[in-house]
Structure 1
């Protein structure tokens, strides 16, 4: 059955134009005006975007499904307008082998409501110095490598990993963290750590490992991607590396753009994430880094936990914040509406830029012959973010209760509706 999306404000890569989209057999077959089909979706006064692309989510499946699973995580992604995501391998067991990777890929395909790309680990069990067989992991469906949640501690291990990744044309996506400098901290080093009498995290835990890895990436030629950069120094290191021709990309999370440590109102686990919320100076550097092209994309680091996991304040709560269902609306409300970002900039950081960085040929754009992976957003009406509306198992976010614009109306994957707001 053919479907036409009528009179939408279409994001076509570098501009927004009013028009129609005709969808046949799961792909976009025409872009224009006055298009007709048996099934019509009225998108008048609505934004029609390529499905958003999030290169950093945690679905906890297998092994930690009380927190999330592939079905609930991907439903949450769809509710946020995301149609392609990269799922991290910090599950139980870690997919160290082709057999385990194949099982995860199969589960993603059978139970995922969106397109799920599966990361493999840099090191066996995301620890130590032993490297898995990258070639067999790639053959089994692994698209990139990450130990997210943990940094690779030994420089020699990372050097060998980069060499092997380069040989197999795989991206290394690094959680930059020197454990000796992190030193069991729970909150950014600064006045809030002092106020709550909590063990601090120095920015050096992130920046020294980024500096190390950029030199290794320069030597090996690997595509080195930095997860969730959070400090001004990190941004400056990437800026210099790009000027020197090092193949580096990086991402920033919505929460590091929206919040600084000074915004933490109480010693509550909802504000505990890794990297931690940084200073106002760091926050501004992240915004500047996006605007000048140093930072390539926005990625949520969607990290669901049970309510029990997030109890006990900073000292005891697990690190992590959900993001799939709040990212676009929060960013649109706090950055596009005040004129800090343009709408096309925000959309590019959530669609075309991540797709280009990870060489995803069938994601992040509206074009003829492309899969009809689409999201429709309501930019005109303000709504409150309510916990009962979340589709993720994880409710761990300080953004609950915020009033925002840009809620998702409908999400489509390969022409099939995978989320539709109630009442539409």
Structure 2
């Protein structure tokens, strides 16, 4: 068993201490007092064992925008944050709207080796919202795409949205909507409210998000299809999703770590690290999305990891790009916002950051229970560690993190992907090309 790992004394999803034996890419035994000749021993006393995290919303930028990120550097960042699988958004160049592009992304992820890369296909050609992309061809490709999104652009035409919802039913796909009415957000710079009024910045009203969600859950009900709402950010959006689920509509929703913690008050300093789409909202919205995640109205946490080169952020607020990097910090932020506040336990964290995103994306081999026979996709997390988040914690190509200098709890000690450690004792291994 020279390739085996024996994890000793881990707290299984925050519960009982157990040993976990990994060999040949799978979990072979789970129990106490395990031993294995030749296995590498990992002392996991005090560490929480979780299924490898799965991010349903990652921007890897390749092909086309490698100055911001590549599939290699993005999955390296994912491994540092405890993620063993990421879903790659289609806003690349060329746009991921054909079988050829999504298969290229899949192959690059396989070569990198840090995490599984599952491409997301565009809903419309070029993300222009005019005609459907090759949804069926992407679904039947080697990438087996099941999630489709024009992320960054709302599928605004209701007829196009209806047709997309109808089309993906044939292969159990899901449309992931970027809920933003473009006519209500033209020129918007931040959340519409007291702070925007004081700063004199054009406001981004909550209703621009909520009106699209309301329309789309009704369309999903009408055609009997699956809808996923990306980066939900307002109290009103939580209410609409809660209503839709009570009605029996097949809708899921995600919230980002930054919308669980940060508020629009941070914009007062005009630091473009805090410029994001959808914008940071009010404290009332933060509390509402936390409650929605805790009670199951919101299904998952997704990072919306959005890397940018320094020049796109080190400029005046109006010219700065939207987006934040988030893969390396996501678990630590959820720890702070949800676990330390008593809103979620570690078993809940496994549900919202691993099991449920894998299920929504129909991704086999991830989000599985930590039991014998399952794929060895794991993260070992130290909840007692912590400290200031710095650029030393970042493993991607960009550094536009909103948490730099902020104290965050916890530390990812080990990430195990396909039975091999991509992070060992907190140090990244060079596993890719």
The normalised TM-score by structure 2 is 0.94
Of the candidates 166, 177, 191, which is equivalent to residue 174 of structure 1? 177
Partner SS, residue 138 of structure 2? helix
Q: For 1:73 and 1:376, how far apart are their aligned partners in 2? A: 20
CA distance in 2, matches of 1:101, 1:381: 38
State which of 9, 26, 47 in structure 2 corresponds to 1:7. 9
Q: Secondary structure at the match of 2:412?
A: strand
For each residue in 1:274-323, what CA deviation from the matched residue of structure 2 results, as whole angstroms up to 9, or x when unmatched?
00011111111101111111100111100011111112243111000111
Cα distance, 1:34 vs. partner? Answer: 1.1
Deviation at 1:19, TM superposition (A): 0.6
* 242-251 or 105-114, which deviates more: 105-114
CA deviations 1:145-198 (Å, max 9, x no partner) are 011111012111111111111123211011111111111212000122123221
Q: Which residue of 2 aligns with 1:23?
A: 22
1:358-398 superposed Cα distances (whole Å, 9 cap, x missing partner): 33342123122111111111111232211133101121122
Q: Is residue 196–residue 267 contact of structure 1 (8 Å, CA) maintained in 2?
A: no
In structure 1, stretches of 5+ residues that fail to align are none
Other structure's SS at 1:41 match: strand
> Would the aligned equivalents of 1:117 and 1:143 in 2 still touch at CA under 8 Å?
no
Give the conservation status (yes or no) of the 8 Å contact 1:75–1:419: no
SS at structure 2 position matched to 1:371: coil
**Could you tell me which residue of structure 1 aligns to residue 50 of structure 2?**
49
Please report how far the alpha carbon of residue 112 of structure 1 lies from its aligned counterpart in structure 2 after TM superposition: 4.4
Tell me what 1:395 maps to. 399
- Give the Cα–Cα distance (whole angstroms) in 2 for the partners of residues 265 and 4 of structure 1: 50
Give the aligned length.
421
Q: Which of the residues 215, 224, 248 maps onto 2:251?
A: 248
Name the SS of the counterpart of 1:56 in structure 2.
strand
Aligned with 1:406: secondary structure?
A: strand
Q: Which deviates further from its counterpart, 330-339 or 39-48? A: 330-339
- Could you tell me which of 231, 235, 244 is aligned with 1:232? 235
1:308-387 matches, within 5 Å, as 308-364=311-367, 365-387=369-391
What is the RMSD computed on CA atoms of the aligned residues?
1.6
Check the 8 A contact 1:187/1:314 in 2, yes or no.
no
**Does the alignment pair 1:409 with 2:413?**
yes
Deviations 1:244-265, CA, capped at 9 Å, x for gaps:
1110000000000001112434
Cα distance in 2 for residues equivalent to 1:280 and 1:35: 48
Superposition pairs for residues 15-94 of structure 1, below 5 Å? 16-37=15-36, 38=38, 39-94=40-95
Q: Is the 8 A contact 2:146 2:172 kept in 1?
A: no
C-alpha distance in 2, partners of 1:34/1:184? 62
Shift in Å at residue 98 of structure 1?
Answer: 1.7
- 1:339 match: secondary structure: coil
Greater mean alpha carbon deviation, residues 96-105 or residues 113-122: 96-105
The separation in 1 between residues aligned to 2:16 and 2:9, in whole angstroms, is 10
Instruction: Report how far residue 423 of structure 1 moved.
Output: 11
